Every structure is written in structure tokens, then in C-alpha cells.
Amino acid sequence: MNKLHNHRSPPGLERQILKKIPKYLLASICIPLFMVILVRLPFIESLFTRTAEEVSKLHTTIDFLSIAIFISVLPILLTLTIGCVIVVLMKGPGYVADAYELDDADKPDKDEKRK
């Protein structure tokens, strides 16, 4: 395999997305955690609930919602990362395989078929 000289594609949108993936991952972790912590503040609990049973129901609902948000966003980020890595690899240096000499005739010789 011989490398083609000066044959690289310029970086594009995939590099910009790859640089943002860690921020998106951090946000997908922090936002659900923020929801869980926020709903447990006494001020917020008193706004939406009146009894201990309602408080427990609110906490459970927000817990499940935050888990669902995280589990929904994680595969999206993983798919984006895999796609960007594939594009970066495909835009890498070009290679040329060894030449394979072909017969330049319009029709193959009948004698060569018998060999």
C-alpha cells in the first residue's frame, strides 16, 4: 500500500461536532441531576405538594424522568461520536494498492482459458 502524497480532505463539520461532544455529555448528566436536586428543595416541594405521599410521588416521577432523559440522550451522543470518527478516518490519507496488470485485449484468448 502506497500513500498518496498531499491527498487529505480538509476538516469539516465532523471536527466541530467532536469538539462539542464532551460538553453535550456533561450537560446530559448535569441537567437531569439538577432536576432531581431542584425538586427536593423544601421551597419547591411546598409549591407542588401538600402531603408526604404527594412529595414521594413527585420525587419518584422526577427521578424516572431524569433517568429517561439521560438514557435517551446517551445513544444519540454515541451515534454522533461513531459517525464523526468514521468520517475523520475516511478523510485520512489516501492509499493506492499495488497495480494488477490486466490484459488489454477486447476479447480474452481462447488458449488462455484452457490453461
Mean pLDDT by 10 residues, the chain (115 residues): 70 92 95 93 78 87 95 96 92 73 67 55
Provide the pLDDT for residue 47. 80
Query: For residues 68 and 75, what is the distance between their CA atoms, to the nearest angstrom?
Result: 12
Provide the pLDDT for residue 68. 96
Provide the pLDDT for residue 104. 67
Instruction: Evaluate whether residue 25 is within a structural domain.
Output: yes
Instruction: Evaluate whether residue 52 is within a structural domain.
Output: yes
Instruction: Evaluate whether residue 57 is within a structural domain.
Output: yes
Instruction: Evaluate whether residue 95 is within a structural domain.
Output: yes
Provide the pLDDT for residue 93. 76
Query: For residues 5 and 31, what is the distance between their CA atoms, to the nearest angstrom?
Result: 47
Provide the pLDDT for residue 99. 63
Instruction: Evaluate whether residue 113 is within a structural domain.
Output: no
Instruction: Evaluate whether residue 58 is within a structural domain.
Output: yes
| 48 Cβ contact list (under 8 Å, min separation 6) | 54, 58
Domain range enclosing 54: 16-100
Instruction: Evaluate whether residue 7 is within a structural domain.
Output: no
Provide the pLDDT for residue 90. 86
Provide the pLDDT for residue 110. 66
**Which residues, listed in sequence order, are joined to residue 2 by a DSSP beta bridge?**
96
- For the chain, how many structural domains are there in total? 1
Instruction: Evaluate whether residue 60 is within a structural domain.
Output: yes
